[in-house]
Structure 1
Amino acid sequence: MCIVVTYCEYYAHRFPKKFVQIVHPLSTIFVVGTIVFFFWMQMFLIAPQVYNDFGYKLLWIVVIFIMHNILGNWIACYRTNSSVEILPKESQVPVPEKEHLWRFCDTCNKLMPPRSWHCALCNCCILRRDHHCIFMATCIGLNNQRYFIWFAFYSTFALILSFATFVIYFARVGCSTLLSPDIFVILLLNCICGVQRDRSKESLFQTTVFLFNIVVLLIPGSMLAYQIQILWRNSCYYKINDSAYDLGFLKNCKLILGQRGLWTFLSPFLKSPLPHDGTKWEMMPQSN
């Protein structure tokens, strides 16, 4: 994963326009394709064989709620602008007593608020920039980090639920290779040689999808792990251990998620205005 991230960062800095033209559409197709595929696989193939009538209907309600939040937060994150340019003209200039806290951006050729950094892919400075996410096809910053956090949370939760449903399914059909340490070797032999080392009822396709489920889970899972640390410290991806702006977990939640804090998990459409415009940041009191 680290090698992939490093290569993407290198290519993005060398060829930003080409990177956006190629990687953003591909990552968007991957996200949409993965969501649709697992929804179809679980709700129409696996879940009907795992849950009874009441459980299956209850699962539909849960999955609709999850899909509402995955797709809603994904679209909202992409459409919400966090660039410095959206600020009113008077807010794009520091007051004299705060000017020393602002930094000069050589690319934009003007002063930028604290915690704002330039993104070569977006070609602008982003308020409280966290990082540029290829899966969102935009920068994560002040105004859209709320949506990114809940997208990562619900994507992780959905894939864990899918994983659990697969485990129950395989247990019911009598699969003995599922929990075997050499399951990857077994799958490889099945693919290359057609060798069947187990006579259980599971299909090669279902086993492959189960393994794909595990691999894909690492993507939003790692995103969520980082975002929890960022929320805990009020930091950002590139300075994840920086606690200079840590004002306590609950206040951090309001600064990042808005006035409604953790209640924003209910829906991306829940109004939760941020306490300020991202030009002034309160720092943690220094101990003597």
Structure 2
Amino acid sequence: MQRRQATLKEKLSEHYRKRDFKAKKQTASTAGIVFFLGMLFTLVLEGLVVLLPNHFMTEDGEIGPGYRWAQLFCVWLFLETALNWYNTYYDIANRVTKEMKSNYYPVSSETPPGWKNCPTCMMDAPPRSYHCTLCNHCILKRDQHCFVTGSCVGYHNQRTFVVFCIYVLISTVYAAYLQFSYLNKMLPFTSHWASFYFPLTGLWQYLIGAVSFMQIFILIHLCCTLVSLGLSAFFLFWQMVVISRGQTSFEAWKQIMIYRRRAVLDNFRDVFGDLLTFLLCLVVPLRMHLPGDGVKWVIEPKAEKGH
């Protein structure tokens, strides 16, 4: 007797029934990446098509001076932000490999002093390396998992992460200024339209036809921009704090201070390299040579109390 073939409806129903609705660990990273890329592309399009022409429009209907320079500045911020995001996202160099141990201990089968054995990766990892359950890899000098890039911030991309935060901060400040200027020109904040700048009130005014779709869209976009501005400022500030102390975020949480250098500038050089290299990284979003390899670290004798 020939077996009856399941219909498409039955297949979809069976697939839906067996589907696991539990939140995955990677869901937050996926949401962070989608939010960032959505904000990045919508901001640059909104800026070039709507905000900048409106900002430089004179009473005569002509585009005022400085418009082309503002366009170039907008495109430059977009490229710098996108490329530094990619340099942080591409974190393969941070992943601990078995070759790292063989380079320093070619004949040793035991876990070297200061190293740790990772039962998940089933290999020895160097000091300051920790396993990330989201990336499922041991990461060199792991600082944190960045949900916006969907990758771990570690030895090889901490510098680009800081530069990325700098450009996000500059971009969001500039975007918020243009967005507020656009809205304030049509709906003055100091008038009876002040209530519009509260999102729920603004949404109600849109539903009753008091404001246009573009105005409510830019208001919501402005709120998202301000959230991004606050997050980038926080992470930039926090990175400056832990780097100046010669720590990672994990080490600051655990109060580990044995890798802290005697001079604060040395702590910054461990992450950014020399001043010329860092300034070049600010302008040219390329991966450049770092002062070490992320495997070998010097312990300061006077700092052992903080371990």
Alignment deviations for residues 143-194 of structure 1 (CA, whole Å, 9 cap, x no partner): 1112211112111210111111223334433512699588325325425x63
Deviating runs (4+, > 4 A) in structure 1? 86-89, 177-182
SS in 2 for 1:54: coil
CA contact under 8 A between 2:95 and 2:138: conserved in structure 1? yes
Distance change in 2, residues 1:24/1:208 (3 Å): closer
Identity among equivalent positions (%) equals: 24
Aligned equivalent of 1:232? 244
SS in 2 for 1:104: strand
SS in 2 for 1:186: helix
Matched, 1:264 2:281: yes
Q: 1:250 aligns with which of 240, 247, 265?
A: 265
**In 1, Cα distance between the equivalents of 2:100 and 2:129?**
16
Q: CA deviation at 1:232?
A: 2.0
SS in 2 for 1:114: coil
**In 2, Cα distance between the equivalents of 1:129 and 1:92?**
20
Q: 2:290 aligns with which of 262, 274, 279?
A: 274
Gaps of at least 5 residues in structure 1 are 1-14
Aligned equivalent of 1:59? 70
1:167-206 maps to which residues of 2 (within 5 A)?
A: 167-173=180-186, 175-176=188-189, 180=194, 183-184=197-198, 186-190=201-205, 194=208, 203-206=215-218
AA aligned to 2:202 is L
AA aligned to 1:136 is T
- Mean Cα deviation higher: 137-146 or 246-255: 246-255
Q: CA deviation at 1:213?
A: 2.0
**In 2, Cα distance between the equivalents of 1:87 and 1:181?**
62
Q: CA deviation at 1:257?
A: 2.3
AA aligned to 2:178 is T
Alignment deviations for residues 54-103 of structure 1 (CA, whole Å, 9 cap, x no partner): 3221112222221221111111222232011175452364998x933222
Q: CA deviation at 1:36?
A: 0.6
Aligned equivalent of 1:155? 168
AA aligned to 1:268 is P
Q: CA deviation at 1:129?
A: 0.5
SS in 2 for 1:32: helix
Q: 1:42 aligns with which of 47, 51, 67?
A: 47
**In 1, Cα distance between the equivalents of 2:159 and 2:270?**
10
**In 1, Cα distance between the equivalents of 2:184 and 2:139?**
49
**In 2, Cα distance between the equivalents of 1:217 and 1:175?**
23
CA contact under 8 A between 1:92 and 1:112: conserved in structure 2? no
**In 1, Cα distance between the equivalents of 2:204 and 2:169?**
30
With the length of structure 1 as denominator, give the TM-score of the two structures: 0.78
Q: CA deviation at 1:208?
A: 2.6
**In 1, Cα distance between the equivalents of 2:244 and 2:84?**
21
Distance change in 2, residues 1:221/1:166 (3 Å): same
With the length of structure 2 as denominator, give the TM-score of the two structures: 0.73
CA contact under 8 A between 2:98 and 2:123: conserved in structure 1? no
AA aligned to 1:71 is A
SS in 1 for 2:290: coil
Higher Cα Rg, which structure? 2
SS in 2 for 1:153: helix
1:8-157 maps to which residues of 2 (within 5 A)?
A: 18-20=24-26, 22-51=27-56, 53-81=64-92, 82-85=94-97, 87-88=99-100, 90-91=102-103, 93=105, 99-157=112-170
- Mean Cα deviation higher: 107-116 or 158-167: 107-116
SS in 2 for 1:67: helix
- Mean Cα deviation higher: 133-142 or 234-243: 234-243
